[in-house]
């Protein structure tokens, strides 16, 4: 079953286009992650947080990614990481135009 992950963590910037330029290499690495269907990058400068919403083909791929990305964020000196995981209901999501 497809699995949705939500990562959120404290982040001081850069934001917007500057973040986009700074994170090109990381985005390319994440794009090559086994089982990743898509990722939406999130940022909330007013709260000092960033993160992402990910959809993986399987729960196993999502769990592998949680371990890898949590370690990577910790190596960047980021703590206070919040991760939420959900099973995606494909039948209902199709009605509301989500592609799974």
Q: CA 63, 68, 40: angle at the middle one, nearest 5? A: 75
pTM over the 0.85 mark: yes
Structural domain contains residue 19:
yes
Tokens at 80, concatenated: 């206070």
When the pLDDT of each residue in the chain is averaged and rounded to a whole number, the result is: 96
Structural domain contains residue 100:
no
Tell me how crowded residue 60 is: count the other CB atoms within 10 A of its CB: 12
Structural domain total, the chain = 1
pLDDT grade for 100, boundaries at 50, 70 and 90:
confident
Structural domain contains residue 2:
no
- Answer whether residue 85 shows pLDDT above 90: yes
CATH of residue 52's domain is 3.30.70.100
- pLDDT for position 25: 96
- Answer whether residue 49 shows pLDDT above 90: yes
| Residue 16: domain span | 7-95
Please state the rounded mean pLDDT for residues 5-19.
97
């Amino acid at each position: 079953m497809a699995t949705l992950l939500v990562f959120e963590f404290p982040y001081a910037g850069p934001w917007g286009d500057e973040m986009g330029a700074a994170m090109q290499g990381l985005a390319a690495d994440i794009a090559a992650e086994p089982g990743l269907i898509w990722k939406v990058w999130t940022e909330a400068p007013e709260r000092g947080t960033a993160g992402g919403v990910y959809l993986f083909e399987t729960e196993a791929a999502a769990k592998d990614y949680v371990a890898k990305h949590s370690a990577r964020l910790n190596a960047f000196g980021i703590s206070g990481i919040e991760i939420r995981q959900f099973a995606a209901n494909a039948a209902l999501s199709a009605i509301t135009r989500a592609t799974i």
